[in-house]
């Protein structure tokens, strides 16, 4: 390996090739710790504050190690950024001959089989889709990757995509007439041959559990696995270590089976009758739930009038469809595929209802068109621990938010990281000079009916002082909508002409673009804007947070985990709920200061930060802001001229 002191030094290759590069002690130290973990094949959990440059701190030792490396990121956006920007920059600076590949889930690649079928059937959900199909056909003919992110003319949210991509269930595999030119298979081949492969967390865990997405083939040869944005892993892993089944999968089966009737089995008149009956059973099941966005523990779901009958009806109608499919399966590989999916779904529905695994928490999530039946593990530590110890390799977990006051015990326990070393590097930014933490006086208790109105009222003078240029981050969608409505009225009454943006009015990317361009906007958001958002410069000069982000106590999985910990004589609040709130708050607070030139005010409205004994533990986990409880200090901060 090259000497990292030289690589990161002021006269090194990074300084020569990357505009604006400056040596940071924290970045070098983190890179050295990662280099040691890679050499020794050990586990390292590393927190690096905003501005440390953690991406280069892990990429450089990884590329210099000479072994196969898997890098997993939190989102597809970060995945694209790593692959298209960061990795090429590091590779060029180091002049190392490593091959790099990106692997996404199969839903990101156009499927020749389903594209041809959608084109032949000509049944589209909208006029737009009928236009988009021609663009996708042309794209599939000329693209080398088939990655839909490269087709900018068709929005990612377009309803055509599920019809022209495959799922794990409806992929024909080697039976497919297009197997040799399959984009998914080509992506996997490139990944197998590459030195560095970039994936995302959902893909990684889906594959570890389902052996479907190509990572399982990569893992045996990987010397190092690096998780960036590793604070997201407990939640993502929980999705895949559980046993979930969705009515969407049942509806997809019915529609695919009907499509096979049209193309392959026109003489089997029992098939459309069975698919129509199953679709109706699914819709009837959805209708017994009153609201979308509901998360119900299984006891409440089972107590809903009509639940048992509607659930049994889906199982019966699915059984009838399976009986028809069995008679047709030999006619065509696609019909055989439908039959096998039907049998698997019948088993999943039966297993969810039987609830034989006591480590799984059963709960129900209701969406506009569908119902998701979850069985989530109380702990992922055991399941993930098996992956960690399957064979010798180094595992690196890094994020700006993993610790509570530099204590990693919460994260280590969640992930089953008994052998891991830990490293903590604070941000190189001068928070005492660049930022102010403001907790207003006189706020009511967060559970009082007057609280949201008090948040809007307390935020108003801060927004006047900051001249807009703010994020208002709320802990619930309901609070977000209420605060937005109150600010809209207050802006009108007070003649404040700052543009007011609301999460959901358009995509996150479009909203951020507008926010940056406007330069004086106020964006009211919820979960989508707490992390993974980077706005540098004066456009974002204040971040206002309505409440400490404790997970909602009525969340079914959280409630079950709390009950289990308390039954074991542990303190669930201090061991689980408080660390969760701290890590989430650090993410939200991290939106404010993004580089050395940024200045701004972080306003946390929640009086518990000051009034409760645990409040000190929370603010001590934040960067070392100058602190105040006086609005006058906020006014003075914004009245100061920006340092040149």
Question: Quick one: pLDDT at residue 644?
Answer: 42
Question: Quick one: pLDDT at residue 25?
Answer: 94
Residues 541 and 444 in one domain: yes
Residues 203 and 350 in one domain: no
Question: Quick one: pLDDT at residue 7?
Answer: 94
Question: pLDDT below 70 — which residues of the chain?
Answer: 1-2, 209-216, 641-644
Distance CA 577, CA 617 (A): 13
Q: What is the pLDDT of residues 182-201, one digit of tens each?
A: 999 999 899 999 999 999 99
User: Does residue 394 belong to any structural domain of this protein?
Assistant: yes
Residues 455 and 579 in one domain: yes
User: Does residue 367 belong to any structural domain of this protein?
Assistant: no
Looking at 369-420, list the stretches that DSSP marks H as alpha helix, in order from N- to C-terminal side. Answer: 381-388, 409-415
User: Does residue 312 belong to any structural domain of this protein?
Assistant: yes
Q: What is the pLDDT of residues 319-352, one digit of tens each?
A: 999 999 999 999 999 999 999 999 999 999 999 9
Of the candidates 49, 52, 75, the one whose C-alpha atom is nearest the C-alpha of residue 509 is: 75
Residues 482 and 581 in one domain: yes
DSSP conformation class of 137: H
Question: Quick one: pLDDT at residue 1?
Answer: 55
262 in Cβ contact with 122 (< 8 Å): no
Residues 421 and 436 in one domain: no
Residues 214 and 68 in one domain: yes
Range of the domain at 575: 431-639
Question: Quick one: pLDDT at residue 149?
Answer: 87
User: Does residue 474 belong to any structural domain of this protein?
Assistant: yes
Q: Which residue reads 């049942």 in tokens? A: 250
Question: Quick one: pLDDT at residue 206?
Answer: 81
User: Does residue 364 belong to any structural domain of this protein?
Assistant: no
Residues 298 and 345 in one domain: yes
Q: Please, which residues have CB within 8 angstroms of residue 91's CB and are 6 or more apart in sequence?
A: 63, 98, 100
- CATH number of the domain where residue 36 is located: 3.40.50.300
Residues 111 and 94 in one domain: no
Residues 447 and 503 in one domain: yes
Number of domains in the chain: 4
55, containing H or E segment: helix 54-64
User: Does residue 142 belong to any structural domain of this protein?
Assistant: yes
Residues 217 and 111 in one domain: no
Q: Which of 369, 401, 425 is the last residue of a domain?
A: 425
User: Does residue 237 belong to any structural domain of this protein?
Assistant: no
Question: Quick one: pLDDT at residue 169?
Answer: 83
Residues 223 and 303 in one domain: no
Residues 87 and 126 in one domain: no
Residues 610-616: contacts with CB under 8 Å, at least 24 apart: 610/439, 614/574, 614/578
Of the candidates 153, 170, 173, the one whose C-alpha atom is nearest the C-alpha of residue 162 is: 170
Distance CA 474, CA 549 (A): 9
Question: Quick one: pLDDT at residue 173?
Answer: 85
44 in Cβ contact with 199 (< 8 Å): no
């Amino acid at each position: 390996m090259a000497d990292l002191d030289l690589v990161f030094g002021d006269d090194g290759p990074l300084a020569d090739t990357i505009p604006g590069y400056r040596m940071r002690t924290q970045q070098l130290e983190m890179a050295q710790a990662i280099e040691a973990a890679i050499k020794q094949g050990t586990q390292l959990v590393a927190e690096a504050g905003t501005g440390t440059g953690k991406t280069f701190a892990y990429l450089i030792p990884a590329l210099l190690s000479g072994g196969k490396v898997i890098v997993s990121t939190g989102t597809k956006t970060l995945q694209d950024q790593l692959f298209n920007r960061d990795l090429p920059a590091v590779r060029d600076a180091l002049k190392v001959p490593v091959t790099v590949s990106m692997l996404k889930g199969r839903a990101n690649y156009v499927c020749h089989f389903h594209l041809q079928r959608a084109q032949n059937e000509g049944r589209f959900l909208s006029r737009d889709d009928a236009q988009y199909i021609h663009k996708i056909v042309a794209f599939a003919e000329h693209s080398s990757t088939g990655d839909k992110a490269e087709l900018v003319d068709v929005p990612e949210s377009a309803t055509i995509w599920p019809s022209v991509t495959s799922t794990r269930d409806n992929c024909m595999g080697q039976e497919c007439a297009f197997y040799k030119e399959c984009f998914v298979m080509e992506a996997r081949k490139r990944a197998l041959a590459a030195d560095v492969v970039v994936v995302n967390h959902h893909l990684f865990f889906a594959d570890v559990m389902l052996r479907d997405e190509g990572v399982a083939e990569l893992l045996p040869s990987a010397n190092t696995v690096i998780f960036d944005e590793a604070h997201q892993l407990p939640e993502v892993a929980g999705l895949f270590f559980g046993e979930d089944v969705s009515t969407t999968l049942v509806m997809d089966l019915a529609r695919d089976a009907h499509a096979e009737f049209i193309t392959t089995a026109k003489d089997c008149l029992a098939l459309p009758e069975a698919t129509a009956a199953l679709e109706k059973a699914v819709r009837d099941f959805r209708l017994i739930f009153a609201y979308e966005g509901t998360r119900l523990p299984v006891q409440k779901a089972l107590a809903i009038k009509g639940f048992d009958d509607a659930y049994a009806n889906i199982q019966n109608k699915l059984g009838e469809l399976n009986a028809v499919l069995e008679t047709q399966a030999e006619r065509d590989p696609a019909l055989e595929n439908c039959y096998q999916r039907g049998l698997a779904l019948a088993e999943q529905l039966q297993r969810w209802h039987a609830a034989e695994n006591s480590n799984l928490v059963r709960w129900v999530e209701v969406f506009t068109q569908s119902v998701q039946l979850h069985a989530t593990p109380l702990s992922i530590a055991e399941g993930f621990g098996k992956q960690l110890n399957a064979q010798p390799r180094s595992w690196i977990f890094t994020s700006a938010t993993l610790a509570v006051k530099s204590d990693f015990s919460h994260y280590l326990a969640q992930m089953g990281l008994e052998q891991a070393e830990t490293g903590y590097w604070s941000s190189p930014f001068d928070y005492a000079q660049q930022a102010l933490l403001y907790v207003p006086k006189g706020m009511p208790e967060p559970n009082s009916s007057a609280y949201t109105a008090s948040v809007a009222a307390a935020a108003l003078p801060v927004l006047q002082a900051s001249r807009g240029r703010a994020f208002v981050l709320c802990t619930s969608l309901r609070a977000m909508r209420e605060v937005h409505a109150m600010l809209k009225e207050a802006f009108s009454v007070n003649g404040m002409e700052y543009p007011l943006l609301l999460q959901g009015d358009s995509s996150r990317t479009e909203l951020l673009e507008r926010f940056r361009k406007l330069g004086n906007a106020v964006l009211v958001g919820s979960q989508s804007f707490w992390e993974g958002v980077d706005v540098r410069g004066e456009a974002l000069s204040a971040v206002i947070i309505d409440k400490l982000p404790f997970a909602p106590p009525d969340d079914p999985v959280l409630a079950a985990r709390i009950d289990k910990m308390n039954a074991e004589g542990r303190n669930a609040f201090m061991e689980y709920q408080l660390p969760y709130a701290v890590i989430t708050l650090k993410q939200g607070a991290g939106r404010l200061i993004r580089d050395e030139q940024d200045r701004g005010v972080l306003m946390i409205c929640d009086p518990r930060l000051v009034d409760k004994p645990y409040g000190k533990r929370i603010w001590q986990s934040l960067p070392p802001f100058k602190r105040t409880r006086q609005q006058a200090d906020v006014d003075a901060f914004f009245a100061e001229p920006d340092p040149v």
